[in-house]
C-alpha cells in the first residue's frame, strides 16, 4: 500500500506566515503587571527580567530605618514567592507563543519488505487541525496569559499587604518589648526595695515575697514580649526576602502617627469596584464567555467552550490549566446542545460576576467599619486614656510628696502607666493593620487575602 | 424678705466682718449674724443684759443677741459653710452662721434664753443643748422630744440657763453625718456673780476630727475612727491662733470633745488643775495638779493655771497622730532602708521621685508640690525652723508686757541669754552597755545578739 500526503503550496505558505506572527514580547508581560500593581500598592513598581536595578534600589532602602513603603519596595524586589509567580508568567507567554505556531511539517520515510515485496512509504504530514484551530487557540492562550498577568499582580498586591501587616506587627512587638523592659525595671526596683526593707527589719517576708514574685512574673512577661518581637521580625524578614539577623534591616522606634483624616466610605466603595482584581477578573471572564458563546453560535461544530474551563485542581497537585479544542463531524449533532451549554455558561459567569461585586462591596464596608473603629480606639488611647494615666501618675507623685502614698504606690502606678502605653501601642498597631486590611479590600481581592 | 449686709469694727487687731442677713420673713426674728472670718475675735463686753466676763473662742466668735422683754434672743442658722482649716486649705462643712463651729453662745445663770434655729441644710436637723438642765421638750432629740426641723423652717427653743458652767450644742438628727460635717458650737453659762471664779483670760474651743482626702474639700462622713485632720474649733496648726496672755494672768481653757476618741490635752511649762467638768465646777478640795488632762468623748473640761512662766509654750493633744495633718496611713516605714541604686532606677520611671523617709519622717527643707487644697503633713515655722506639727497644736504665749485685755500676737519669745538649748562641742564618752539582756528571770536562749540589721534571711531557716 502506498500512501503519499501532499500539501498545497499556498497552504504551506500561509502556515509560514502565521508562524512568523507569534513571537515573545520584549517585556514578557511584566509591564502590564507593573502598572496593575503600581496603581494598587500606591508606589511605582517596575518588574523587569533583569532586576539588578530593582534590587540595588531596594538594598539602598535597607540601609536606613525601614518605612512601610520601603518594606513593600524591598519585598517586591526580594521576595522569592513573588518571583515564582512572575516566572509563571513566562511559562504562560511561552504557551501563548506556542499557540501561534504550527507543529513543524513532518516527513517520514519507511521501507519494508515482506517476502519479495518491498514497500517504500513516504509521508509528508502537516498539522491541519492545528492550522484550522490556531486563531481559537491563540485567543484562548492570550486570555490565559492575561490571567497569569492578573495572578502575578494579585500576588504582588497580596505580598505588599502582607508585608505592611507584618511591618506594623514587628514595630509594635518591638515597642511592646521595650515597654516591658521598663515595667520590669519598676518591679525590679520594688523587689530590690522590698528586699532591703526586709533586711532593715521594716517589712515581712510575706510582703517581700509578694514583691519578688511580681518581679519574677514581670520578667516572664518581658521574655514573652522579646520572643514575640523576634517572631514578628522573622515573619517580616521572610516576606521581605532578606535576613532578620545582623545587617538585614533596621526598624524605626515607633509606629507611624495616626493620620488626621480618614477615608470616607463612599470613596472606598467606588474605588474598590474600579480597582479590585477579582472584580476585573470576573468582568473579563464574562466578556470572554460572551465571546465564546458567539463563537460557538457561529461555528457550532467547534467545541471551544471546553477550552477555558479545563481548569481543574486536585488536592495536593498543582492546578491543571488548559484547553481542548475539538472538531466534530456534523453527522448526528448539529451543535444545538453546545450552544445551550454556552448560553448557560454565559449566564453563570454573569451571576458569578454580580456575586463577586456584591461580596466585594460588603467586604469593603466591613473593612471600613473596622478601620473607623480601630481609629477611634487608637485616638481614645492617644488623646484620653494615656494622658489621664499620666495625670494619675502625677497625682500619685503629689501624694507621695506629701507622704500620703508610698514609693510602692508610685511603682505600681508606673507599671499601670506602662501597661496603658502598651495598650495604646497595640491600638495604634491595630489601626494600621485595619488600614492595611481596608487597602486589601479595596485593591486586592478581599480583606482575607 | 430681704438681705442686708453691714459691717462693724470692734476692738483688736482683727477687723470683724460680720454680715447680717435675712430677717427670715418675720420681723420678730432677731438678726442672724454671719461671720466670714476664721480668726479669733476678741470679745466685746456685753452691751446689755447682766454683766459677765466674756470668753475668747479660739479662731471663733460669740453670737450677738438681743433682749426682748427680758428674754435673751439668739438666732442660729444651720447652713453649709466653707471653713478655712488653715491657710492653703478650705473645707466644705456644715455649720452655723457662716462658720464651723458655730458661734459661742454666752449667757448668765438665770437668763431666760430663746434661740431661733433656721435650717438651711438640705436635710432636717435639730439642736441638742449638751449638758443643760431644761424642759425635756427643749432637749433637741429628733424623734424623741421633737420632730426634726425641716429644710427652710425655723424652730424656737426656750429655757432658763439654770446651771453655770461649760456646755456645747450640736445636732441630734442624722448626728453622725452632721457632726462629721462640723455642726457644733460652744456654750458658756456665766455665774450670776461675775467675780465667782473670775479669771483674766478664758479661752474656749471644741475638738473635732475630719476625714478629708488630700486634694478634696468635703469630709468623708462615713469615716468612723480613721480621721486625718484633728482640729481645735475646725482649725489645724499652723492655722490655730496662739493663746496670748500676760505674765501672771489667771488663765482658764475650756475644751469640749465632739470627736470619736479621747484627747490628752497637754500644756508645757505650767501645771493646771481641772476646775470644771460636764457636771459643773469641781470642788477645790478634789483638784490635783496636772500637765495633761484626758478629755473623753462627749466631755468638757475647764483647766486653770497661773501663767507665771514667760515664753512660748506648746499646748497640744498628746496623741502624736493628732498633731500632724493628713498622712498616708498605709505608708510603710522606710527608716534605715538603703536606697542606693534603687533611687536611680525609680527616677528613670518616675523622673520627679525623691527619696523620703529613709532617715525618718522629717520633711524639713523639702518643698514639694502637693495635691491641691492639701496641707503638708507636719508644718508650721517657728523662730528656729519648722515646728513639724499639725492638727491639735497651738502655743500659749506668756509675756510680761502683754496688756490686760490685749489678745494680739506678741511675736516670738526672746529668750534671755543662756536659756536656750545649745550644741555640746566637747568630748563624748563611750556609754557602758549591758551584756546580760534578759537577766536571770528570763534569760535569752539565743544570747543578746539581736543585731537585726546584720542578719539576713537565708533559705528555709527563716529570719530573726
Ligand atoms: Cu487628740
pTM of the model: 0.76
A-B Cβ pairs (cutoff 8 Å, strict) = 117
**A223: Cβ contacts below 8 Å, ≥ 6 apart:** none
- CA distance to A269, B129, B176, B407, per residue, from B105 (Å): 81, 11, 23, 20
B371 within 8 A of B359, measured Cβ to Cβ? no
Q: Which three cell numbers stand for residue B288?
A: 490635783
Angle of helix A265-275 versus helix A407-443 axis, rounded to 10: 40
Per-residue pLDDT of chain A (449 residues; tens, 9 = 90+): 444 444 444 444 444 444 445 677 777 778 888 888 888 887 777 777 667 777 888 888 888 999 999 999 999 888 888 888 888 888 888 888 887 777 777 777 777 777 777 777 777 777 777 777 777 778 778 887 888 888 888 888 999 999 999 999 999 999 999 989 988 988 999 899 999 999 988 889 999 999 999 999 999 999 999 999 999 999 999 999 999 888 789 999 999 999 999 989 888 888 888 888 888 888 888 887 887 777 677 666 555 545 444 444 444 555 555 566 666 666 666 667 777 877 888 888 888 888 988 999 999 999 999 999 999 999 999 999 999 999 999 999 999 888 888 888 998 898 888 889 999 999 999 999 999 999 999 987 654 54
Closest among B408, B380, B405, B374 to B392, alpha carbons compared: B380
| Helices (H), ranges, B93-231 | 175-180
As a whole number of angstroms, the distance between CA B114 and CA B69 comes to: 11
As a whole number of angstroms, the distance between CA B300 and CA B452 comes to: 46
Could you read off the pLDDT of B200-244 as tens digits, one per residue? 999 999 999 999 999 999 999 999 888 999 999 999 999 999 999
- Calculate how far, in angstroms, residue B318's C-alpha sits from the geometric centre of ligand 1: 6
In chain B, the residue whose alpha carbon lies closest to the alpha carbon of A194 is B337
Please, which residues bridge with residue A122 across strands?
A109
Q: What is the pLDDT of residue A304?
A: 52
B261 within 8 A of B244, measured Cβ to Cβ? no
Q: What is the pLDDT of residue B232?
A: 98
- Calculate how far, in angstroms, residue B93's C-alpha sits from the geometric centre of ligand 1: 20
Q: What is the largest CA-CA distance in chain B?
A: 87
Cβ distance of B326 and A402 shorter than 8 Å: yes
Nearest CB to B353; choose among A198, A402, A410: A410
Cβ distance of B328 and A201 shorter than 8 Å: no
Q: B395 φ, ψ to 5°?
A: -130, 135
Long-range contacts of B285-289 (CB under 8 A, 24+ apart): none
Chain B interface includes A115 (CB < 8 A): no
In chain B, the residue whose alpha carbon lies closest to the alpha carbon of A191 is B342
B96 within 8 A of B77, measured Cβ to Cβ? yes
| CA dihedral angle for residue B306, residue B312, residue B316, residue B322, rounded to 10 degrees | 180
Distance from CA of A426 to the nearest CA of B (A): 21
**A412: Cβ contacts below 8 Å, ≥ 6 apart:** A190
Q: What is the pLDDT of residue A256?
A: 94
Cβ distance of B369 and A203 shorter than 8 Å: no
Q: Which three cell numbers stand for residue B46?
A: 456685753
As a whole number of angstroms, the distance between CA B124 and CA B136 comes to: 20
Nearest CB to B368; choose among A182, A401, A408: A401
Q: What is the largest CA-CA distance in chain A?
A: 128
- Calculate how far, in angstroms, residue B101's C-alpha sits from the geometric centre of ligand 1: 18
Distance from CA of A206 to the nearest CA of B (A): 12
Count other Cβ atoms within 10 Å, centred on residue B79: 20
Chain B interface includes A411 (CB < 8 A): yes
Q: What is the pLDDT of residue B46?
A: 84
Q: What is the pLDDT of residue B273?
A: 98
Chain A interface includes B365 (CB < 8 A): no
Taken in order of first residue, the domains within chain B and their CATH numbers are: 56-198 (2.60.40.420)
Mutate to test the interface with A, among B229, B337, B345, B375 (most CBs of A within 10 A): B337
Radius of gyration for chain A, computed over Cα atoms and rounded to the nearest angstrom: 33
Could you read off the pLDDT of B429-441 as tens digits, one per residue? 887 776 666 667 7
Q: What is the pLDDT of residue B368?
A: 80
B57 backbone φψ class: left, alpha, beta (φ>0; ψ -120 to 50): beta
The string of DSSP codes covering A170-217 is HHHHHHHHHHHHHHHHHHHHHHHHHHHHHHTTSS-HHHHHHHHHHHHH
Cβ distance of A403 and B361 shorter than 8 Å: yes
For chain B, which ranges sit under pLDDT 50? 1-26, 454-464
Amino acid at each position: 500500500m502506498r500512501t503519499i500526503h501532499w500539501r498545497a503550496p499556498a497552504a504551506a505558505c500561509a502556515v509560514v506566515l502565521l508562524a512568523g506572527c507569534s513571537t515573545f514580547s520584549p517585556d514578557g508581560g511584566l509591564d502590564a503587571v507593573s502598572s496593575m500593581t503600581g496603581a494598587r500598592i500606591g508606589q511605582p513598581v517596575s518588574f523587569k527580567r533583569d532586576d539588578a536595578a530593582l534590587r540595588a534600589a531596594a538594598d539602598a532602602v535597607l540601609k536606613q530605618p525601614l518605612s512601610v513603603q520601603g518594606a513593600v519596595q524591598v519585598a517586591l524586589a526580594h521576595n522569592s514567592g513573588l518571583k515564582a509567580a512572575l516566572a509563571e508568567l513566562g511559562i504562560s507567554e511561552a504557551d501563548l507563543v506556542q499557540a501561534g505556531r504550527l507543529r513543524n511539517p513532518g516527513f517520514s520515510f519507511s521501507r519494508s519488505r515482506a517476502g519479495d515485496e518491498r514497500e517504500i512509504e513516504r509521508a509528508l504530514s502537516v498539522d491541519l487541525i492545528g492550522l484550522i484551530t490556531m486563531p481559537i487557540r491563540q485567543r484562548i492562550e492570550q486570555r490565559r496569559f492575561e490571567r497569569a498577568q492578573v495572578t502575578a499582580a494579585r500576588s504582588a498586591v497580596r505580598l505588599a499587604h502582607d508585608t505592611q501587616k507584618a511591618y506594623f506587627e514587628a514595630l509594635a512587638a518591638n515597642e511592646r518589648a521595650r515597654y516591658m523592659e521598663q515595667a520590669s525595671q519598676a518591679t525590679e526596683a520594688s523587689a530590690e526595695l522590698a528586699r532591703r526593707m526586709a533586711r532593715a527589719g521594716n517589712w515581712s517576708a510575706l510582703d517581700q515575697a509578694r514583691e519578688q514574685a511580681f518581679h519574677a512574673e514581670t520578667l516572664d512577661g518581658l521574655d514573652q514580649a522579646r520572643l514575640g518581637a523576634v517572631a514578628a521580625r522573622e515573619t517580616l524578614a521572610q516576606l521581605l526576602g532578606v535576613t532578620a539577623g545582623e545587617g538585614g534591616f533596621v526598624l524605626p522606634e515607633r509606629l507611624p502617627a495616626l493620620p488626621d483624616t480618614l477615608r470616607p466610605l463612599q470613596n472606598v466603595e467606588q474605588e474598590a469596584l474600579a480597582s479590585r482584581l477579582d472584580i476585573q477578573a470576573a468582568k473579563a471572564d464574562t466578556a470572554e464567555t460572551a465571546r465564546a458563546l458567539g463563537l460557538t453560535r457561529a461555528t457550532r461544530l467547534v467545541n471551544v467552550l471546553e477550552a477555558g474551563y479545563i481548569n481543574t485542581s486536585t488536592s495536593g497537585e498543582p492546578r491543571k490549566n488548559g484547553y481542548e479544542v475539538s472538531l466534530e463531524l456534523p453527522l448526528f449533532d448539529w451543535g444545538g446542545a453546545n450552544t445551550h451549554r454556552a448560553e448557560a455558561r454565559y449566564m453563570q459567569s454573569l451571576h458569578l460576576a454580580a456575586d463577586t461585586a456584591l461580596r466585594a462591596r460588603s467586604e469593603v464596608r466591613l473593612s471600613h467599619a473596622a478601620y473607623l473603629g480601630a481609629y477611634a480606639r487608637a485616638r481614645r488611647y492617644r488623646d484620653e486614656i494615656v494622658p489621664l494615666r499620666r495625670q494619675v501618675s502625677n497625682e500619685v507623685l503629689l501624694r507621695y510628696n506629701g507622704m500620703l502614698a508610698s514609693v510602692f504606690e508610685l511603682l505600681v502606678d508606673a507599671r499601670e502607666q506602662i501597661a496603658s502605653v502598651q495598650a495604646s501601642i497595640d491600638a495604634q498597631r491595630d489601626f494600621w493593620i485595619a488600614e492595611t486590611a481596608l487597602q486589601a479590600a479595596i485593591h486586592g481581592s478581599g480583606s482575607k487575602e | 424678705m430681704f438681705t442686708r449686709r453691714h459691717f462693724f469694727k470692734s476692738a483688736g487687731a482683727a477687723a470683724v466682718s460680720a454680715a447680717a442677713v435675712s430677717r427670715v420673713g418675720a420681723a420678730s426674728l432677731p438678726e442672724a449674724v454671719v461671720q466670714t472670718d476664721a480668726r479669733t475675735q476678741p470679745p466685746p463686753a456685753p452691751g446689755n443684759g447682766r454683766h459677765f466676763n466674756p470668753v475668747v473662742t479660739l479662731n471663733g466668735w460669740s453670737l450677738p443677741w438681743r433682749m426682748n422683754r427680758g428674754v435673751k434672743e439668739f438666732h442660729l442658722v444651720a447652713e453649709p459653710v466653707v471653713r478655712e482649716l488653715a491657710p492653703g486649705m478650705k473645707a466644705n462643712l456644715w455649720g452655723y452662721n457662716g462658720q464651723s463651729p458655730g458661734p459661742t453662745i454666752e449667757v448668765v445663770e438665770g437668763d431666760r434664753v430663746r434661740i431661733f434655729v433656721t435650717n438651711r441644710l438640705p436635710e432636717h436637723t435639730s439642736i441638742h443643748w449638751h449638758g443643760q438642765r431644761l424642759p425635756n421638750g427643749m432637749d433637741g432629740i429628733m424623734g424623741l422630744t421633737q420632730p426634726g426641723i425641716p429644710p427652710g423652717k425655723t424652730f424656737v427653743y426656750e429655757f432658763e440657763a439654770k446651771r453655770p458652767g461649760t456646755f456645747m450644742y450640736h445636732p441630734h438628727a442624722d448626728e453622725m453625718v452632721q457632726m462629721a460635717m462640723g455642726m457644733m458650737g460652744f456654750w458658756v453659762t456665766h455665774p450670776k456673780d461675775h467675780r465667782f471664779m473670775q479669771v483674766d483670760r478664758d479661752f474656749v474651743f471644741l475638738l473635732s476630727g475630719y476625714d478629708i482626702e488630700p486634694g478634696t474639700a468635703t469630709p468623708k462622713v462615713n469615716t468612723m475612727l480613721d480621721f486625718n485632720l484633728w482640729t481645735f474649733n475646725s482649725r489645724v496648726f499652723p492655722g490655730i491662733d496662739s493663746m496670748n496672755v500676760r505674765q501672771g494672768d489667771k488663765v482658764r481653757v475650756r475644751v469640749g470633745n465632739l470627736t470619736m476618741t479621747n484627747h490628752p490635752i497637754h500644756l508645757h511649762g505650767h501645771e493646771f488643775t481641772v476646775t470644771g467638768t460636764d457636771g459643773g465646777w469641781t470642788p477645790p478640795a478634789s483638784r490635783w495638779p496636772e500637765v495633761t488632762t484626758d478629755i473623753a468623748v462627749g466631755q468638757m473640761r475647764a483647766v486653770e493655771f497661773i501663767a507665771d512662766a514667760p515664753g512660748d509654750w506648746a499646748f497640744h493633744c498628746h496623741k502624736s497622730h493628732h498633731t500632724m495633718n493628713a498622712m498616708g496611713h498605709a505608708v510603710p516605714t522606710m527608716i534605715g532602708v538603703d536606697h542606693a541604686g534603687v533611687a536611680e532606677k525609680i527616677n528613670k520611671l518616675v523622673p520627679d521621685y525623691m527619696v523620703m523617709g529613709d532617715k525618718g519622717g522629717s520633711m524639713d527643707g523639702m518643698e514639694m508640690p502637693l495635691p491641691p487644697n492639701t496641707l503638708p503633713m507636719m508644718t508650721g515655722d517657728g523662730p528656729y525652723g519648722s515646728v513639724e506639727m499639725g492638727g491639735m497644736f497651738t502655743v500659749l504665749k506668756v509675756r510680761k508686757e502683754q496688756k490686760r485685755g490685749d489678745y494680739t500676737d506678741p511675736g516670738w519669745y526672746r529668750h534671755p541669754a543662756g536659756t536656750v538649748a545649745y550644741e555640746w562641742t566637747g568630748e563624748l564618752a563611750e556609754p557602758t552597755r549591758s551584756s546580760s539582756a534578759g537577766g536571770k528571770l528570763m534569760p535569752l536562749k539565743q544570747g543578746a545578739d539581736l543585731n537585726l540589721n546584720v542578719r539576713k534571711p537565708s533559705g528555709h531557716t527563716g529570719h530573726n
